[in-house]
Amino acid sequence: MSYSPYLLKGQKALVTGASSGIGEAVARYLALSGAAVAINYHSEAEEAQKIVDEIKANNGEAFAIKANVSQEDEVKAMFSQTLDQFGTIDILVSNAGVQKDSPFVDMSLEQWNKVIEVNLTGQFLCVREAAKEFLRRGVQPHISSAAGKIICISSVHEIIPWSGHVNYAASKGGINMMMRSIAQELAPHKIRVNSIAPGAIKTPINKSAWDTPQAEAKLLELIPAKRVGEVEDIAKAAVWLASDDSDYVNGTTLFVDGGMSLYPGFADNG
C-alpha cells in the first residue's frame, strides 16, 4: 500500500498514547495519509513534541496534547482543545495502554485498577467524547462517507488467556464487547467502530520479550509468521480502518498478529 496524502485529506485525528510505540507509528502514518493529528501523551512531552516537529517538517499538521486518558476531566479538556485547534475530529485511535504484571494471587487491587482504568475506562472516556462530536457534526460527504471512525487498539489477549497478566487480558476482553456494543449503537449514525488486535509488536511495553536472541526465539514459537511484528504493521491497518476503503467494516476486530491467535501449539496435531 502506498501512502497517498489524499487518502485522509482534510480529516482530523486524535491518537492517544502517541508518544511511543504503536501510537507513534499510527500518528505518523495518519499524517502521511493527509490527516491532521493530535498527538496525546501522558509523561513523555519531549518525545511527543519530536513527533509533532517531524510531521510538520514533512508538511503535515500536528500538535501535542497531554492528558491521562483515565481521568474524565483531562479527557474532556483534551477533546475540547483538539476541537478548538482543528474545528472538529473525524478519527480517534484509542491506543494508550499499560501492563502491570503479577502472578494472580499476588496481584494488588492497585495493579488491577491501574490497568483497567487506563486500558478500558480510558478507551470508554475517549470514545464517548469522539462519538459526541461525530453525532453533533454528522457526515460531511466531501470528507468521508462516515460521520466518524473509531479504532480501539486491543490485543490478541482479548481472546488468548494470559497467565500472570489477568488485569491486562481482562481489560482487552472488555474492549471487545465495549467496541462491538458501541458499534451496534452508533452504526445507524454512520459511525464506524472497530478494533485492531496486535500480536507481539516490538515496542517498549514488551522489550524483555524480544530484546535478546533467546527471548526472541522463545517468542517466535508463538508466531506462525516467524517474525516479531513492527509498529508499521499496525499503523498500515489503522490507516485502512480510518479510510473509506473500509466503509463496510463495522464492529470487527482485525487481528494483526502473524497468526499468533491461530493456536500454533496445535499445528503439529497438538
Residues that bind ligand NAP (CB under 6 A): 16-17, 19-23, 41-44, 68-70, 95-98, 118, 153, 155, 198, 200-201, 203-206
Q: Which is closer to ligand NAP, CB of 147 or CB of 153?
A: 153
Q: How far is CA 62 from CA 68, 131, 135, 221, 247, in A?
A: 19, 21, 24, 39, 25
Q: CA-to-CA distance for 160 and 154, rounded, in angstroms?
A: 12
- Can you read off the three cell numbers belonging to residue 97? 495502554
Q: Please state the closest distance from residue 253 (CB atom) to ligand NAP, in A.
A: 12
Least spacing, CB of residue 140 vs ligand NAP, in Å = 28
Q: Decide if 168 is catalytic.
A: yes
Check: CB of residue 21 under 8 Å from CB of residue 41: no
CA 149 to mean position of chain CA atoms: 12
Closest approach, Cβ 11 to ligand NAP, in A, equals 22
Cβ closest to ligand NAP, residue 21 vs residue 60 = 21
Considering the candidates 3, 6, 29, 168, report the single residue annotated as catalytic: 168
We find the least distance from the C-beta atom of residue 97 to ligand NAP, in angstroms, to be: 2
131 versus 153: smaller Cβ distance to ligand NAP: 153
Nearer to ligand NAP, 11 or 261 (CB): 261
Rounded CA gap, 270 and 268, in Å? 6
- Quote the CA–CA distance of 94 and 74 in Å, as a whole number: 15
- Cα maximum dimension of the chain: 57
Catalytic residues: 168
